[in-house]
Amino acid sequence: MQFKASTDYGMRAILYLAARDTTCSSRDIAEDMSIPRDYLIQLAQLLRNAGIIEARPGKHGGYRLARPADQISVLDVINALDEDAKQATRSRRETRTGGEMVEEIKRAYDLIEESMDAFMSSLTVESLLECVTTDQSSRTYLSERLTAEGKRLAYA
């Protein structure tokens, strides 16, 4: 799965801020993470509106996480950067009518979306950074996350 550019850049910026754990200038984030600076500023506004980052004006200003990295999920970031598109897609899908087969396909697609949302909400920024700083393989990490999320959903 490949993220669209806004999600990719936004996620990179959030991971960078979490790893640095301090206020970082848009220039530093853009240069270090290969993000066009003007685009980063646009994305930062969306992330700020969602309460994920804070913007600090001034000479020593910049961006920092608005809450701890273990309280920010991948889904939070995706939704902050993509909510308008998701709402438009849902609206179009709900207005279409069709026979029983079409309704079954819609329900199957909804299941895909629910599954992705459940898993992405279980991945926090902190847990991703922990995975890459340990010797644990990414496949082992993901397997453990899927197992834990499956148990959580079964008993929810």
At how many degrees (to 10) do helices 26-33 and 5-20 cross?
A: 110
Residue 105 sits in the same domain as residue 144: yes
10 and 84 share a domain? no
Do residue 73 and residue 24 come from a single domain?
Answer: no
Number of domains the chain contains = 2
- Region of residue 151 (left: phi > 0; alpha: psi -120 to 50; beta: else): alpha
Are residues 31 and 19 both part of a single domain?
A: yes
At residue 10, the pLDDT reads: 96
The pTM is what?
Answer: 0.80
Same structural domain for residues 76 and 31? no
Q: Are residues 61 and 87 in the same domain?
A: no
Q: Are residues 73 and 106 in the same domain?
A: yes
CB 46 within 8 A of CB 39: no
Helix (H, G, I), strand (E, B) or coil at 85: helix
pLDDT digits (tens, 9 = 90+) for 65-105: 999 999 999 999 999 998 755 555 555 656 666 678 888 88
Give pLDDT tens digits for 36-61.
Answer: 999 999 999 999 999 999 999 888 88
User: In angstroms, rounded to a whole number, what is the distance separating the alpha carbons of residues 34 and 37?
Assistant: 9
Over residues 108-153, the pLDDT tens digits come to 888 888 888 888 888 899 988 888 877 767 788 778 877 887 787 7
- Domain final residue pick, 65, 100, 115: 65
Domain that holds residue 88: 69-154
122 and 76 co-located in one domain: yes
Same domain, 99 and 28: no
Same domain, 28 and 80: no
Query: Within this chain, do residues 61 and 85 fall inside the same structural domain, yes or no?
Result: no
Q: Are residues 149 and 76 in the same domain?
A: yes
**Domain final position from 23, 42, 65:** 65
